[in-house]
Structure 1
Amino acid sequence: MKGDLSTLVFTGCETSGCEMSRSRQYDIKRFCFQTWYYDATEGRCSQFWFGGCGGNENKFATQEMCETICVEPPGRGRCYLPRVDGPLRCDQLQPRYYYDYTKKHCVAFWWRGCLGNANNFNSFEECSVFCKDVGPFDEPTTTTVPPPAPQNIQQFAPTPEAQQIDIVSAEQPQQQPQ
């Protein structure tokens, strides 16, 4: 049925509506109006001025509609959302799992600790149980452990004295000239 929310969730995210960049048609000032889009980099819905012509499926009349489709869809819709690591400003790396509907199984990734979407599970088991009825579920052929932590991310680790904070960087140390 056209307009059914479950259909919107299924087709909107499955056809990458939430993964599209923001509609950029806002040049005709007199016809502009505020609307919402899903910012996959930030992992949240944001407002922008839309000119009313063209654009793509990543535009929503309300914040609630955007979030219902792209951040917290009902039921199994969350298993179709893209992986969102979180914005670069978030620096609390945590190993998580998301359901990759193209691979038909759960995959490990590093979540930055804030924002993102509902396709973010604490464990492989939680992800597998929740998304197993989405379609054919393939068991991964390799162990699902998070890949190495992203480069150039600083994490704060307390020292044994707990009085200071040392900055631990994921960057490779540079060789000292001899």
Structure 2
Amino acid sequence: MIKLHRSYCPHGLPLLDTPTQTPIECGINKGCPGGFICHMSAEHNVSVCCEDPTDFCLQARDPGPCDNYVTRYGYHPLTDTCVEYDYGGCDGTLNNFRSLERCTEICCKEYKRKRARRLA
């Protein structure tokens, strides 16, 4: 069931209703709790509460307890860059991206400023 919910948010999982395990919807009249933002899922044509990148981008890069190491990328707030690190394959934090591009797109402030200027 969890894998089905991964496509709702740009990174991580949506906030789920406990009894039904369905994503919690949001909109103009219904916001999201702290630590979550309202995100429009184009794939599912619905707005749901997703974890706020300003929270998970600042989490520590954690390899987790497993030893099935793969290369991942995590945001480094002091340099506003994404850096490579070894992820053990389980647990850890959401500051864990499969590609440098995805990490940069979601977490880096400079990327967001440049993108905003291009769109203006």
TM-score after normalising by structure 2:
0.49
Q: Which has the higher helix share?
A: 2
Relative contact order: is structure 1 or structure 2 higher (C-alpha 8 Å, sep ≥ 6)? 2
Specify the structure having the higher radius of gyration (Cα): 1
